[in-house]
Amino acid sequence: MIKVALPNKGMLFEPTIELLNSCGYRVSKVGSALSFIDPENEVEFYFLRPGDIPLYVANGMLDCGITGKDFVAEKGVEHVKLLDLNYGQSKLRAAVPNDSPVQSLDEFADLTIATSLPGIVRAFFAPRELQIIELEGAVEIAVQLGIAQAVVDVVDTGTTLKQAGLRVVGDPLFLSNAALFAHHGREAHHQLTVLKQRIQGKLVAVDYMMVEYDTPGDILQRACEITPGLESPTITQLQREGWYSVKAMVKRRDAHRIMDELSAIGCRGILLTSIESARI
């Protein structure tokens, strides 16, 4: 049985639970419970603060965990990243008051900076020495309260910074998203390999759709050029002479354009369906 760390709260919590449930795992957080066992899949889940997960995994107390890449970078500990996940995207941005003369990130080395991720900030500005005020949350209020001249904070839309009278300076210091990390040396464990493959299958399903259609033989080749599939499309001869049924996986972002093109050349009965999971 493997031990897996999951975020106990925040924007990573619900998407992580939904992802695992969609992959066939039975996991839920009941009240203040700190763990949940899924005996059928031989997994024990632990609900931890997202920022603490890197330490538990790095020290080998837990086999793997799902958390943000920014939390892992902040702790500076060794992990094996198994998969990037398609949620929890965020940017670490630097900001100053609207009336500040500062126009570039190079000028931040001379300022007192409030942040909840001092490790990443110091690494970004190294080897320059910084004056950093470390806060757990509500970083954007630090300038207004007079304890800092600038902030570096996790930003989604930037609305919170604007409401605090701050403006963003320069490019993001760090780009993050949720990811699956393993303790170094345990990434080949059977249950962990299964976990990785199931999640990969779900991520593929998000990116692809299945298109099915009927086509007369004289345009079959043209239709297959539009829908080549992963290896090749599946082609079945229909009872009606000279007609074929074709099935192929297509990129979700291209699916509706492909339907338009198939219809334009004379294909019929075109169906587009979502995929629950896939292994490719």
Q: Over 90: is that where the pLDDT of 229 sits?
A: yes
Distance CA 93, CA 255 (A): 35
What pTM was estimated for this model as a whole? 0.86
Higher-scoring residue by pLDDT: 29, 52:
52
* Cross-strand bridge partners of residue 204: none
89 and 168 Cβ atoms separated by less than 8 Å: no
Q: Over 90: is that where the pLDDT of 274 sits?
A: yes
| pLDDT tens string 54-86 | 999 999 999 999 999 999 999 988 889 999 999
Ramachandran angles phi, psi of 58, nearest 5°: -60, -35
Task: Return the SS3 of 14.
Answer: helix
176 and 90 Cβ atoms separated by less than 8 Å: yes
Half-sphere exposure of residue 169: CA atoms within 13 angstroms, side-chain side: 19
* Cross-strand bridge partners of residue 236: 245
- Segment 28-54 shows an average pLDDT of 93
- Integer-rounded Cα radius of gyration of the chain: 25
252 and 244 Cβ atoms separated by less than 8 Å: no
| pLDDT tens string 135-182 | 988 898 999 999 999 999 998 777 888 888 999 999 999 999 999 999
191 and 75 Cβ atoms separated by less than 8 Å: no
| pLDDT tens string 5-31 | 999 998 999 999 999 999 999 999 888
